[in-house]
């Protein structure tokens, strides 16, 4: 028994080299994992670059993606498809890509290069529509490839209408947790050695020392610890000791099971809470959007106007509100029908969206009335922006063949021109300015303080 204890304690010498070995293996794992993650970051940057290029090809190079870009792809616009193919060829030469494709908001592929690589099934879009996702491609459609999905942004508070999907053959992670096979085997060996050392230590403490003490053998420790239960005894004391030891093991096993169950419940609750939070945020974003124009709806204005007013007041910056109303909209609906009226409202929504800056908000107030909240802008600049929208609308209507003459009137109220105690007060003054513009002959813009601008011919 003394010889066994001596051999066990000698085995502890092996543990002296384990920390150095673990440190070397950890450095190898970190280096390999860092290289793999850097490759994935570069791949996501390629997808982000392609999405930015799609945004440049939209109307005027603005950050929004109008619906007509997707429609032009579907219609086979030769010029757009040629530009896309040239861009795809250049990107593949510099980035070693396999394919590049553009999808609509539902994941349907509208254009891809090479042409024979167009998938037949829709692309599975990520839950977070604004995130850039790098993942393994479908094994049946693209075996061994990795794909990156990047949304093409449409501006504040709006979901993307298009996505860019690029695929490439990236090197797989070198092994478990970013390690190569050799490093993984070495780590397993280290774990086995550690477990063996721990087992030997427990054997020395729980078996060898108690047996040596019970057999009258002295230990090498200057302060020997009290022996554990005498499980080896064959009398009644030994039977009681074995029963107590069995109870200890049952208690320890039950405690471990309870801890595992608690961890599982905590992880499940956390995962479900995050999922519910994402779903609620997505539902709130969709509930605040007007389906016809893509602008925010009246509910968004009612819930956020006072908050926006208070935030600008705290920052000490100017705030302006412009109200727009389509003149002669009802006669157009009566003569040309509601589809023509809806098409006109969609055009006006796109026109207003293209005039928004970062932080500005476009809202369909109701029917043919619209509101734009300009933040951090002088009243004169807001008046010019509203007048530009009215002029562009008049230019479009002058070439449109409509059965009724349709124009646009606007009213603008800004804090540097008028006094308003709340966001609702500023909105009411913009509404009064709109009434004066319509009363003065329509097709013009009026300020809450100044006289209406000249009517557009």
Question: Exposed/middle/buried for 23, CB within 10 Å: 0-12, 13-18, 19+?
Answer: exposed
Q: Is 138 a catalytic residue?
A: no
Write the DSSP symbol of residue 233. -
Please state at what angle helix 329-336 crosses helix 338-354, rounded to 10 degrees.
Answer: 140
Strand 445-447 relative to strand 407-414, pairing: parallel
Tell me the HSE value of 435 on the side-chain side, using a 13 A CA sphere.
6
Number of residues written out for the chain: 457
Those residues with Cβ within 8 angstroms of residue 309's Cβ, 6 or more apart along the chain or in another chain: 319, 422, 423, 426
Q: Which helix (H) or strand (E) holds 425?
A: helix 423-439
For residue 344, give both structure tokens.
């006109």
Q: Which helix (H) or strand (E) holds 410?
A: strand 407-414
Question: Exposed/middle/buried for 50, CB within 10 Å: 0-12, 13-18, 19+?
Answer: buried
Q: Could you identify the residue written with the tokens 């529509």? A: 129
Distance CA 359, CA 330 (A): 32
CB 125 within 8 A of CB 134: no
CA distances from 311 to 73, 113, 306, 317 (A): 42, 47, 9, 9
Task: Of 111, 156, 109, give the one whose Cα is nearest residue 130.
Answer: 156
CB 192 within 8 A of CB 170: no
Residues β-bridged to residue 327: 407
Which member of 204, 327, 368, 431 is catalytic? 368
Task: Of 28, 288, 285, 44, give the one whose Cα is nearest residue 180.
Answer: 28
Those residues with Cβ within 8 angstroms of residue 439's Cβ, 6 or more apart along the chain or in another chain: none
- Angle, CA 372 vertex, CA 368 and CA 375 arms, to 5°: 175
Which of the residues are catalytic?
Answer: 368
């Amino acid at each position: 028994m003394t010889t066994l204890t001596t051999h066990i304690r000698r085995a502890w010498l092996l543990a002296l080299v384990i920390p150095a070995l673990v440190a070397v293996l950890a450095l190898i794992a970190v280096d390999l994992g860092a290289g793999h993650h850097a490759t994935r970051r570069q791949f996501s940057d390629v997808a982000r670059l392609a999405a930015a290029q799609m945004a440049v090809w939209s109307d005027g190079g603005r950050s929004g993606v109008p619906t007509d870009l997707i429609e032009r792809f579907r219609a086979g616009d030769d010029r757009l498809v040629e530009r896309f193919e040239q861009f795809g060829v250049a990107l593949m030469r510099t980035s070693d890509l396999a394919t590049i494709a553009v999808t609509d908001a539902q994941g349907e592929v509208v254009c891809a290069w090479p042409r024979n690589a167009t998938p037949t099934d829709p692309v599975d879009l990520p839950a977070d529509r604004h995130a850039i996702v790098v993942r393994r491609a479908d094994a049946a459609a693209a075996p061994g490839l990795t794909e990156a999905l990047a949304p093409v942004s449409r501006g504040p508070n709006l979901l993307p209408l298009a996505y860019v999907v690029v695929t490439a053959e990236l090197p797989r992670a070198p092994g478990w947790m970013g390690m190569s096979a050799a490093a993984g085997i070495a780590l397993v060996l280290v774990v086995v050695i550690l477990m063996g050392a721990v087992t030997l230590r427990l054997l020395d403490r729980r078996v060898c020392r108690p047996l040596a003490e019970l057999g009258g053998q002295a230990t090498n420790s200057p302060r020997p610890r009290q022996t554990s239960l005498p499980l080896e005894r064959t009398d009644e004391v030994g039977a009681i000791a074995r029963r107590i030891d069995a109870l200890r093991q049952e208690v320890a096993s039950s405690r471990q099971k309870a801890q595992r169950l608690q961890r599982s419940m905590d992880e499940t609750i956390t995962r479900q809470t995050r999922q519910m939070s994402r779903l609620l945020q997505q539902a709130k974003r969709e509930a605040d959007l007007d389906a016809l124009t893509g602008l925010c709806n009246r509910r968004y204005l009612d819930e956020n106007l006072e908050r926006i007013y208070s935030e600008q007041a705290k920052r000490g910056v100017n705030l302006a509100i412009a109200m727009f109303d389509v003149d002669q909209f009802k006669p157009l609906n009566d003569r040309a029908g509601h589809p023509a009226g809806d098409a006109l409202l969609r055009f006006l929504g796109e026109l207003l969206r293209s005039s928004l800056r970062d932080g500005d908000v476009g809202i369909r107030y109701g029917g043919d009335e619209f509101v734009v909240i300009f933040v951090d802008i002088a009243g004169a600049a807001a008046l010019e922006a509203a007048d530009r929208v009215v002029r562009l609308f008049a230019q479009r209507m002058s070439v449109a063949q409509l059965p009724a003459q349709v124009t646009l009137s606007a009213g603008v109220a800004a804090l540097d021109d008028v006094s308003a105690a709340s966001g609702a007060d500023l909105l009411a003054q913009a509404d009064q300015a709109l009434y004066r513009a319509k009363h003065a002959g329509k097709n013009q813009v009026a300020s809450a303080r100044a006289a209406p601008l000249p009517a557009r011919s």
